[in-house]
Amino acid sequence: MFGPMSLDRPVHPDPYELLPSVPSFTVTSEDVTDGQPLADAQVAAAGDTSPQLSWSGAPEGTRSFTVTCFDPDAPTPSGFWHWVLVDLPADTTSLDTGAGAEGASLPGGAFMCRNDVGTLAFTGAAPPEGDQVHRYYFVVHAVTEEQLGVDAGASPAVVSFNLAFKTAGRAILTGTYQH
């Protein structure tokens, strides 16, 4: 017999502190303020709109970028992937608001992999009602290869595994949300 889900859980560690250290660079957003609650546009029920992102200072030797959004506080052992965008050309330094829409025009050969909802798009914050504050890590990964070596059918875990061996640097912006 299964009982009700307990929403009184410890906060998960910063998932990027658990990975091998790489140089950091800067990511900013017109839509997300680091450490602050997400706007309604970045919430599933209100918009599912990916935020504007700009980055600078990527390490020398960067040949492409991967952009992800991950919630380590989801009530699952593996967190929850909201967005996985790979193979952005190295000369890309920003994404407009809404670039994560399904079917969006992306630079070069960039494409999105399925998120944990199963769509090839950004899906907004949707923590369980009454759960703790969730953190949403918007991460720009500087990649040492022009292509990460995955296709749109790759799971976020496979993308992350490939990033473990091809990341030259990481820029992190964290928003929060709670119902």
Residues 6+ apart with CB under 8 A from 113: 84, 85, 86, 120, 150, 151, 152, 153, 154, 155, 156, 159
Give burial (CB, 10 Å; 0-12/13-18/19+) of 27: buried
Average pLDDT per consecutive 10 residues, the chain (179 residues; last block may be shorter)? 50 89 97 97 93 98 98 94 98 98 95 97 95 96 98 97 96 96
DSSP-derived secondary structure letter, 43? B
Fold (topology level) of 29-177:
Phosphatidylethanolamine-binding Protein (3.90.280)
Q: What is the pLDDT of residue 7?
A: 54
Question: Does pTM top 0.85 for this prediction?
Answer: yes
Are 173 and 135 in contact by the 8 Å Cβ rule? The answer is no
CA distance 97 to 41: 10
Neighbours of 165 (CB within 10 A): 11
- pLDDT at 10 (0 to 100): 65
E-assigned strands of the chain?
26-28, 53-56, 64-71, 80-89, 94-95, 111-112, 134-143, 167-177
Residue 11: per-residue pLDDT: 75
Can you tell me whether residue 156 is helix, strand or coil? helix
Q: Give the pLDDT score at 1.
A: 35
